[in-house]
Structure formats: structure tokens, C-alpha cells
Amino acid sequence: MTRTINWSKLILSLLALLLLAPAAQPRMPIVAPYQLHPLQDLKGNATQGSPEQMIVAAIDAIRDNRMADARATVDALLAKEPNYHLAYLLSADLYAMQAGQLDTMGGAAPAGTADKLEDLRREALVRIRREASPPPVTLLPAQLVSFSDKQKYAILVDAAASRLFVFQNNNGIPKYVTDHYVTVGKLGTEKVREGDQRTPLGVYFVDSHMSRPQLDKTFGAQADLYGVGAWPISYPNELDRREGKTGHGIWLHGSPAATYSRPPQASNGCVVLTNPELASVQDYLQIDVTPVVIVPKIDWLTTEQWQQRHTAALNLIDHWRQSWQALNLPNYLNYYSKGFSNSDGQNISSWTRQKTALAQARNDAQIQLSNISLFTGGKDGMLVATFDQDYRSKALDNRMRKRLYWRNEDGAWRIVWEGAAANG
């Protein structure tokens, strides 16, 4: 039987791909995720589910030479999300396959679109990997060490996998809730300076919310870049500023109206979700409370391994407290790095002199810690401890929210920064 190519639909799909595709970015070469075969003239069955489930199902159908099912699924997906770039790419390929075999995803696209196609192939691969290897929800993330009593949820971003995870505080134990595809910085992670187009690594906290009406009022026509809303996070944090890192405006935000989703690396440093998924995630966010932990890759632990890590970290904080309260100066100062500094600008030398004077004066105190949160993040797995500190002595009664940054130095955890915490 002779196949008739629907040239009008093919041209429409290709034009949509070109018009809606994001700007070209520098990328590494990508292996095509499937081998395309001529489309069969059969009525197919559309896979239903989330857009991500549908796009992966369509790719799987093409791989299995179930072209009619792929066609039906892509059509249903575009009816649901008419601005989904990757779905337009598959649609164009499927129409082109009526004329013969294609060797690679995007083989039907005109010359000169290589960078745009590479972005879409990267997105396809990221989504395929998520469906092929779902998160091990029976395991626990090593980076979420301990929730405070106020923290109902935590956000954990796996930059390498382009996934944002939501975990619930389940009686102190992180419980998987959901995960979503995200976009990170055009040039990856490890943000250092303003305008470097990288996403920071570390422990941050949601510090405000900007609704779409607020974005429109503030940014005018440019507000569409942020989609349905934005949740700024606390970059640069105290450690970032100590290390001279610059930049601002790192947000969790949505996508432009004409774009269902963006490539895995396409933002100026923000963490970007689709608009429907941001609307879902924002239900879990508490201003100045919810942690947003951004890591190169999540480390998954068994419950027993996680519990050992949790207990060891809490013991570390309590032994530090006990040494301070007992005025055991050698033990106490051994918890501090030689490169220590604090919020008042003191270094380890001035800090040692101050604490020595207090110990000699026998300024006995009772020190209690509560609402302790412990998270690890960043390139070197910095341990970030935040807690309410109640200090009572004859000379001083003080209650504050405090933060300590601990770095593992030659097998021992030592404090590199100490000061008041404005969030967390």
C-alpha cells in the first residue's frame, strides 16, 4: 500500500520545533536515544499519564517499532501540552518516517538546528533515565541528616540527574513524596560569581515568594521568563559570602508560557520547573523554613546507614555543646578549624583568646540546643547545623537561632563558620 505523507502536519511540526526551541547552548555530543523506523499505517493506542510518562512511552514505542502507538501518544501529549518542544520533535520525526527510516532523533529537522536538537536530545535522555531507573524510594538520602521540628518538608536537587525531590519530615525521617525534572545553569553548577550562569551547590532556604502578579509588576514583559511564580532561595549563604562568592537572584521558578519545559542546562543559575510542577511543589514550601539542598548527586543509604549518620551528627553537635558548657577548652577549641571565622569577623586566634578569657573567669553557663536541623550539601559535603541556642549564665541570658558550618578535615569534623541564622 502506498503511504501518503501529511506534508502540512510535518511542516507545522518542524516550524513549531524551530520557533519554540530554546537558544543554542554549548553541549557535549549526545548519543541518539533510539533508532527510527518507517511509520506503519495502523491505529495506535495512546499511553496516558503525566507528560513525562507519555514522552518516554512514545520513545519506547518507537524503539519497539510500535509506530502507531507512538503517533497516538504524541498526538495526545500535544493536545495536553501544546508547547512541549520535545513532543514536537517526535511528531516531526514520526511524520517524516512515512517517507523512510531515520537514523537519529531529530533526523527530520532542517540543517542548522544542531544545537537546538542536542538540547532536546539531552532532555529526552534525562527523562528516559528517570523512567528506566526510578529513585530508590526504599532508601534514604544521606544529605538530609536531621529535620527541625518546624520543617515539614525538604527540597533536594540532584543536579547531575536534573531532578528535584520533595521529602517529608516523617517523625524526623525523610520520606519520599515526589520528584520532578528541572533545568539548572547553562554552564552547570558550582556558582562562584555574578553572571557565571551556574547553579550554586550547598544548603539554602526558601526566603520569599513572588506570585505572577508581583512578577508582572516588577519585571513587566520579562516576567514571563519565570512562569507562574518564583521562590527565591538564600544564595549567597553565610559560607558563600565568607568565601567571596557573588551573585544573587537564584530562584525556584516556572517556565515561559510558550515553553512547556526547558533543556536540562538552560537557566542563568536558577532551578526551573514546568509551570504545573512548580504549582505542585510550592505547596511544600515554607518561607524561611524549608531547606533547598543542591548537590552534585544524591547519596542513597539504607535505613540503618542513615540512622547511624543521623545519630553520629547529633552526637557531634552535643559533644561540642558539652565541651563549651564544661569549659573544657582543649576539647572545645579542637572542634574549630584553623581557617575558622565568625559573623563578627573573628578568626581562630581572636576566638581562642576570647574563649580562654571566659574559661579563666569561670563564667559557668547552662547551654541548651533545640529545633536542630542538619543537612549536608555543596561540592565538599559541608555539614550545616542550625538550631535554637539557649545560653544562661550569671552574666548573660541569651536565646538565638544559630548556624554552624562544619567541614571534614582529615577525617574530623571542624567548624569553619559560626553565627546567627536568619532562616532555617
Catalytic annotation, residues: 253, 270
Give me 394's grid cell: 550569671
A 10 A CB-CB count for 390 gives 15
Give me 202's grid cell: 550547598
**By three-state DSSP, how is residue 226 classified?**
helix
| Side-chain-facing half-sphere of 244: CA atoms under 13 Å | 0
Alpha helices by DSSP H, 244-302: 275-281
Residue with cell 546507614: 305
| Distance (Å) of CA 122 to CA 32, 114, 266 | 9, 12, 11
d(CA 367, CA 390): 6
Could you list the beta-strand ranges (E) of 17-75: none
Nearest to 401 by CA among 205, 143, 208, 252: 205
Give me 11's grid cell: 511542516
DSSP string, 107-147: TTSPTT-HHHHHHHHHHHHHHHHHHHS---TTSEETTEEE-
Give me 172's grid cell: 524526623
A 10 A CB-CB count for 50 gives 13
8 A C-beta contact, residue 181 and residue 163: yes
Phi, psi of 210 (to 5 degrees): -120, 110
A 10 A CB-CB count for 63 gives 15
d(CA 38, CA 43): 15
